[in-house]
Amino acid sequence: MPLEYEGVRVPESLRVFWDTPIGRWWRQGVDDKAATLPFEVKPGQIYADNDPRSDGRTLRVDEVIDGVALCTILTNRHITEYWLHQEGSWVKDQIGHRTRIKVRRLYPNARGYRLIEDVKE
């Protein structure tokens, strides 16, 4: 029997994901999914970017407000580091810059983020 969600057949590649806590959270159809995440995002946590275009970038969560994490960039992307050391490069160092990321993006999928270091209690 094919697995369906709202009348659409779920591809075979998503079936592994389907019954995980993240999969159940994704299917629940809540408008504010950040309020019901199966994990907690807390100030002090350090995340690494999973997006291959941002390989090497890490950030620290400074505060969480209304489903948005205010973060400080700790390390540059690998390609940014490469270009920073080239003569005549126009690339700017991003270390120390602040950025905002939706809390729902801070889970380990292909374009999300993975937790590297949790808050030390």
**Tens digit of pLDDT for each residue in 19-34?**
677 676 666 654 455 5
Contact 84, 93 (CB under 8 A): yes
Q: Percent of the chain having pLDDT more than 70?
A: 70
pLDDT at 89 over 60: yes
pLDDT in the model for residue 95: 92
User: Which letter does DSSP use for residue 110 in this model?
Assistant: T
pLDDT in the model for residue 26: 63
User: CA 10 to CA 31: how far, in whole Å?
Assistant: 21
Which stretch of 15-19, 23-27, 32-36, 110-114 has the lowest confidence by average pLDDT? 32-36
